[in-house]
A and B are shown apart, each in its own frame.
Chain A
Amino acid sequence: MAEKGKLEPVADFREQAILWPKGHTYEDFEVGMVFRHHWGRTLNEGDNSLFTTLTLHFNPLYFNEPYAKAHGHPGVVVNPLLVFNTVFGMTVEDLSEGGGPFLGVDAMTYHRPVHVGDTVYAHSEVVGKRTSARFPGFGIVTWHTKGLNQDGEMVIDYRRANLVRTRDE
């Protein structure tokens, strides 16, 4: 309901709004570049139970505390696939948000268990980049990503290849 002579408020702010951009493009990556990714994530019981049950991952180490303790753990173990997904998730804005689907993961190793209450962080290094005639407008970038816990110990590492959009598409 704009008054006569006044700018329609919606039109006004939409005209002035500048996109606050996110992510990187293919040209931003150079082999050897290192990213220390944002946020970190404390993995709590709810995260772990939800993820494990939604994915039907029926190993009681991830949802039965007495069972996990009977196997020498201080408490419930965080499902390693949740550790992978969380570390991966925190890398996306820096690495692949401006991109296409990810193509593959190689040499993924779980180095030590993560327990409920542990916090994970993600670091990545660019290990390769190339263009591909199959995917015009995109390049393929490969990274080595490490997931670290609150004590700086590596809990997971893997290599990932992804399509990343080029700037002048």
Chain B
Amino acid sequence: METDKSKIGSFIFNRSVQGIFYQLITLGLVALGIYYIVTNTARNMLERGLASGFHFLGVESQFDIGMTLIDYSPTSTYFDSFIVGLLNTLLVAGIGILFATIIGFTVGIMRLSSNWLIAKIAEAYVEILRNIPLLLQIFFWYFAVLRALPKPKQSLELYDSFFLNNRGLFIPDTVFGEGSSIIFYLLWLTIIISIGIFIWAKRRQNRTGERFPAFYVSTTLILGTFFVSLAATGFPVSFEYPELKGFNFKGGVKLIPELVALTFALAMYTASFIAEVVRGGIMAVSKGQTEAAKSVGLKQNLILRLIIIPQALRVIVPPLTNQYLNLTKNSSLAAAIAYPDLVLVFAGTALMQTGQAIEIIGMVMGVYLFLSLFTSLIMNLFNRFMKVDGER
């Protein structure tokens, strides 16, 4: 009798048994919740006569999109509209990341400047921009600045080749004539050779301690070959400048105002966060490193290149990619100013027309989720690669 009781007791109070019990309960609750939602959804969809499945992707979309990177017309399918939206999202994210990085690094380094005024200006930039909602900034650039610009006839212009007006930003287009492909092949070839030079220079330095000016040599090689081949083939690359014809500009590349406003706002906003990341990364390199480098007689630019930047980058890169990801996700705010990105085109127009909320929102979320998970995978690999032996 007594032993039976203690057996039951030891069974009930056993840690692993308890663990399994709790997990079963959790699993049960979650399954119940999912079952509840699924049955409700199925019944609701049946009642409202909503279709399900992905057949709609092959159907003609019957709507046009203001800006497309691939051929698209109202007779294209919903899947095409998905691709158009996705490409537009990636475009704005790509340009945004480029500019955010440039501005962010500049401001971050400015904040560490020994010049008091410059450091304060950079601090003001960061504190102002990161404390104002991004959507407000997008609205400001779009409605208050770009929409208020003059008409094409009174455009703001730069060197007669860049024009900014209320129809958008017009920039020169590059036209690749005959024979320009050979220049690209040569460019790639010289880049590959330069990488070879870098590897060889590093090996030689490890072996003999002698430095080789790999950077200057390869830059000269790449640029030299580029210009020589350009001249030899008779400058097949030319620019097509936008020109005012009637009421609007013809020729060149037209960037719609939505794209300009969105990229501008995204770049400025994210730059304020990147600046903090950069500042933190550089400050994380302890002062002893600089002093030690000085005491072994390294010059200032070498200290920066060999000691500070490599160590700072290890701290900077993970949060930096995080900011890139944020920028990509934030580009979905495009919907608020009608830039045709993935959310507006697919989760907006296509959803309204087909009514297939679950499939469409699932696909859109899936895209962003994929981008996030892919980035964190890359980041984990990077961290493993950069890990110094003996660190956690």
Q: Do A and B come from one complex?
A: no
Taking Cβ atoms with an 8 Å cutoff, the residues of B that contact A are: none
